[in-house]
Copies of this chain bind each other. A is one copy, B any other.
Amino acid sequence: MRIAVDAMGGDNAPLEVVKGCMGALQREKKLELIVVGKKESIRDILGGYDTSRITIQNATEVIGGDEPPVEAIKKKKDSSMVVGMQKVKGGQADAFISAGNTGALLAGALLKIGRIKGIDRPALAPILPTEKGGAMLIDAGANAECKPSNLLQFGMMGSAYMKGVMGIENPRVALINIGTEEGKGNVLTKETYRLLEESGLKFIGNIEARGIPEGAADVLVCDGFVGNVILKLTEGLAMSLFAQLKKEFTQNTASKLAASVLRPGLRRFRGRLDYNQYGGAPLLGIAGGCIKAHGSSDALAIENAIMQAVRFIDNKVEQSITEHIKVGGK
């Protein structure tokens, strides 16, 4: 199995990315990596590391975090992102991983790799932390405007992923809505409800956003606008609450002392809020695996994203999506 990794993407590239690659190679013996980026930088980091399962693929350009996505993909033909995706397109790699510009990755995956046949809109699908583990949020921002048939496909892809990669036998698929009863919501959710009900998926109906953190479903279906709001509010609230808590706990000597006793618990608490623990967000519907690691990924997050791609390939999630689409129809 070969996976291409964008060595130049993310806040901590290339050092943490290359370190993450080394970690993944130690964990998974059948893995080979194509590390894409500036040859010298990558070589410097690898140093004396056993490189028999690493191929360095030189790419002279880098797409920055703020560049306009489509333009960047079209102009920077020798960027680590474009070159890495071409490895998937050409069949030299089974999946591509990048912690770089999300918009560029989305645009590039569509333009350079292409969709799974039958999928109209690929979706960005991170795993949100919940009290019961994690739930897939699909779509989290690839498609600001959606049709009911897109949301049906999101449900199918999410279900296939949660089964294949997360090992959930029969994932509970729910539609994010503003009320739990059938008939609630806007035109999009009303029609999507009907489609999901007939889909053959384990559709548990509408859920309100209130139910997300407690783990009311395994796959949370919504359009990319709503999903992006959910993703970013979750992130913002967790950060804000933690900062406020810290302030309360460092007010005086007594509270500092007490907080030090609670440190292990606080660390576990914080760990659960950190969605890096789940690796990256797969881009589902792309022909070949494509995973967006968080921009602030450290070596461990990159390693986890690579292991996620390993499970994605091992468990034939792409094939399973293809079959779902054929059976489930349009």
Contact = CB atoms under 8 A, between A and B. Distances in A.
Interface stretch (A86-94, A192-200, A231-239, A280-288): A231-239
A89 B240 CA distance: 43
B255 A235 contact: no
A268 B224 CA distance: 35
- Copies of this chain, whole number: 2
Contacts of A238: 237, 241
Interface stretch (A53-61, A111-119, A244-252, A300-308): A244-252
B262 A255 contact: yes
A321 B245 CA distance: 38
Interface stretch (A33-41, A149-157, A159-167, A208-216): A208-216
Nearest to A187: B145
Nearest to A224: B178
A327 interface: no
B254 A144 contact: no
Interface residues of A, number: 53
A131 interface: yes
Given A259-B262, A262-B255, A234 B237 contact: yes
A25 interface: no
A230 interface: yes
Given A212-B236, A257-B261, 12 more contacts: A131-B240, A131-B243, A144-B178, A144-B186, A145-B187, A209-B236, A210-B233, A225-B226, A229-B229, A248-B265, A251-B265, A255-B265
